[in-house]
Chains A and B, each alone.
Chain A
Amino acid sequence: MKERLRTLRIYPALLALGGVVVAFSSAWAGEDAGMSLLNNRCASCHNLRGPAPSSIHALWARKAPDLFYAGNKFRRKWLISWLQKPVRIRPAGEFYADHIKPGPKRDMVDESTLKPHLALSAADAKLAADALMKLRAHDDLIAKEQVPEGTISTSMGSLVFDKFLGCMACHRIRKDFGGLSGPELYTAGERLKPRFMASYIRSPQAWDPKIWMPNKHVSDTRIIQLVHYLQALSKGGSHE
């Protein structure tokens, strides 16, 4: 009888332990699966480990945006959605000079040299997004930024973006307006985390030392205005 009682006490303990092991191993497998998905399907074009190119020729050799700080850069929800239906963000590719040709009025993007981004299944997109969220280089830069909630009228934002700072020279703020050598910004608000936007505007070189975006020494006030403007652009659906 005594032995039977002891067995009855051991069974629940064993079951609980088994549960913990199963939960732990599936979490471990999930993490592993996410990272191996990144390694197998993304690492041939994207740098997952850093550092960013430190010379012009390394910059030219980069095939796709660095992802070793993806967790500080991207919004998870946007990643999950975009990875299933990728749409080009950089109109002239990763290094614009490799994808342009002389045109009658100006240099033109040579579409024939640009390749589409692969699409993932819903399950893989979630797995990849979760793994990317764990790549968090430059936490120190993010920690320096504070972006209070706020709004700005699109007319004031456009004045700051276009007339005061000249950002439209390289970036599109609508599908049919703006420059082509930088990433489009009409979806930036839904794509990027606010503190990343602030930090990158403050010093692109702190994230990517050789990048072709200049440091314009934008003031704190203007940085906040730009972030609010980019958020307003995404919400306004001006890219439609």
Chain B
Amino acid sequence: MDTIIGLEIHLQLKTESKMFCSCSSQYFEKEPNTLTCPKCLGLPGALPVPNKHALELCILMGLATNCTIAKHIKFDRKHYFYPDLPKGYQISQYDEPLCNNGTVNIKLPDGSTSTVLIERIHQEEDVAKTFHLKDGTTGADYTLVDYNKSGVPLIEIVTKPCIKSAQEAKLYATKIRQIARYLGISDADMEKGQMRCEPNISIQETGKWQMVDNKIKPIGDYKLNPKTEVKNIGSISAVEKAIEYEVKRMTDDLQAGKKLTQQTRGWNAEKGITEFQRSKESAEDYRYFREPDIPIINVSDQDIANISTKLVELPDAKAERYKNDFGLQDYDIEVLTASRDIAEYFEKAFDLSGDAKSTANWITGIIFSHLNKNGIEINDVSIKPEDLAILTKSVNTKAITTNKAKEILLNCLSNDKSVDISSEIEKAQSSAVSDDGALLNMVKQALSENEKAVTDYKSGKTAVIGFLVGAVMKLSKGNADPNKVKDLLEKELGK
């Protein structure tokens, strides 16, 4: 059996106002129905007026994923009856999406790269928030509706059915979230509903189907199995789990001789299962037609050029540069490019210190374990890129030892308040045993206290020098430079 997956991802755009009216789109944790107007309440006679910035952000996503951008923007009405949609239709785009035929590369665990084909990215509007309840006395069903979310700009990114596994789907969703956050077009927080993933899944017998123009076609008299669409997925990891569950459910049903039907199912995160919601409506049931209230919008080359200036260096390009210019390892590159904030932190610290490798090591090592332990973001730490650069330079000029730098860094990180790294380094230097006389005394003390090691060294077991360096470091309370200690020890032992 082959698994064939297409993914629809909705992203809420980070705009100030809604898609077709001037109400605020910042609806999170606001009192219900306080961000509405006749347009987003769908009152008769209200005219939608498209938000330029929202369309710019949609185009930006299209450019970042190598899409072709349409020369004209046309909106369509998608009809269905549900209380979350006061107009009785959603303004969306049907046959002429804004962005077409893009690509996104994902890195698979075996190190190879897979290209996910994007069919389209279109602009639409979000719907209201609904709560389904039961009346306490009569038991009658009712729904409470909050229209604050109604009309918030939304884009839908649709892939071709080219994804082959649950894991690939998860990696692709992660990549889309990463790109959206790099571009700053969406916060893409799935728990807050700013990003929603809806996989379309089908299983087909190996060798009985083929891809023709990116559509699944049967070979011979094979009858294709219908697909299911899964909704209500609340996290990136649930994308993988829901697909795995659904593939198993369909496989089991087929083996038990049951007939599969095209349907929409909901992911139940608590139970870890998908549940039947409804049999899927077909496109013609939505009775799409052109939105007559919005004129066709011309998009010129100059408009695209203006929007292009807002493109930033994306994770793939960054990763390549870090590898070619800095010779960083794959793991470090992955960590450093995971978010734009981390990459910018790294680049700023590198610009000031000129040492990419050490900077990368500090960040991926001590700083990252601090972030993970405390569940905080890079911009929350008390050590700023400027501080890290000073620290790196101090080690490189041998003003302080690596161990001392580590100690300072750990100390500063555990201190929430802002730190004065220069004064910390000065303090360390003043307490450092750089006085050759004092250090030589410690070396002599260590040698006299470890006679066996000295005998071993002289009989040819020179590896024992490490033990002796350790002994001196202990006497100096970690304040000596281990290289200098080693030099002095070798000199003394050679006498």
> Do A and B interact?
no
